[in-house]
Structure formats: structure tokens, C-alpha cells
């Protein structure tokens, strides 16, 4: 399993990507593998404030319901509305089409997230 080098990761298996002053957030391939087929994704409202480490939504699969944790604090600028009708996009393309939210960061927590080497080590310990 490979993880994109241009992303940062959390210990809870979310990823974050800087994109023109905003942070795009999703779940990693490891999380998708652990969850199985995604059947529903519940996301916050646009305009909501999220706190780093706090729950911002849920992801449901044939196996379980899991919380989604914000990698950074900030304001929700956009949600991936396609996931309401096509939650399987997370399975098919977790780093591209299966993104979850775009955040306007309110701090600099991004720099303290795990880089690909640290995240790969974390995943190896859980396998």
C-alpha cells in the first residue's frame, strides 16, 4: 500500500493536502482497507468550525461506523457533495474523487501532521 508523498497524515488515518491556501481532507487507503465498502459519509455543514482532533463527521461501511477526525482547526469551506449519493467514491479514489472537506485553516497544525515516512511506519505497526 502506498501513500502520496505530497500529503500529511493523522494517527486516525485522515490525510490533509495544502491547496491554494485551503486544506483538503480525506481518509487514507489504509482506513479504506480497514473499513471495507463505504455505504455512507456524514459531513459537517459548510461554514461549520472544526477543531483539530475533534470529530467532524462519520463514515459508515458494511463493517462499522467510524468517526472522522479533523487534522487541523478551521472553517469548512466546502464538502464533497457527491459523497451523499456516491459514498463508494471513497473506496474508488480516496485521495482524489473521495475527498471529504475543504477547510480554511485557523492555525498552523498542518506542519505538525505526520509526513509520509512517519505515517507509513505507523501503518506498518498496525498490520
Record the pTM. Answer: 0.95
- Decide if pLDDT at 126 tops 90: no
- Decide if pLDDT at 107 tops 90: no
Strands 74-79 and 55-61 come out as: unpaired
Q: Can you tell me the distance from the alpha carbon of 71 to that of 78, in angstroms, rounded to the nearest whole number?
A: 16
How far lies 19's CA from each of 11, 25, 92, 101, in Å?
Answer: 21, 10, 22, 12
Q: Write the pLDDT tens digit of every residue in 61-84.
A: 998 999 999 999 999 999 999 999
Q: For 9-121, CATH number? A: 2.40.50.100
Q: Write the pLDDT tens digit of every residue in 15-66.
A: 999 999 999 999 999 999 999 999 999 999 999 999 999 999 999 999 899 9
Q: Can you tell me the distance from the alpha carbon of 86 to that of 74, in angstroms, rounded to the nearest whole number?
A: 26
Amino acid at each position: 500500500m502506498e501513500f502520496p508523498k505530497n500529503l500529511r497524515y493523522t494517527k486516525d488515518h485522515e490525510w490533509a493536502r495544502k491547496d491554494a491556501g485551503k486544506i483538503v481532507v480525506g481518509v487514507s487507503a489504509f482506513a479504506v482497507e480497514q473499513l471495507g465498502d463505504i455505504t455512507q459519509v456524514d459531513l459537517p455543514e459548510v461554514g461549520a468550525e472544526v477543531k483539530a482532533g475533534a470529530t467532524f463527521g462519520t463514515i459508515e461501511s458494511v463493517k462499522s461506523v467510524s468517526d472522522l477526525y479533523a487534522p487541523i482547526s478551521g472553517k469548512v469551506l466546502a464538502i464533497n457533495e457527491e459523497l451523499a449519493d456516491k459514498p463508494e467514491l471513497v473506496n474508488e479514489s480516496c485521495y482524489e474523487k473521495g475527498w471529504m472537506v475543504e477547510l480554511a485553516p485557523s492555525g498552523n497544525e498542518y506542519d505538525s501532521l505526520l509526513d509520509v515516512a512517519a505515517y507509513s511506519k505507523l501503518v506498518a505497526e498496525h498490520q
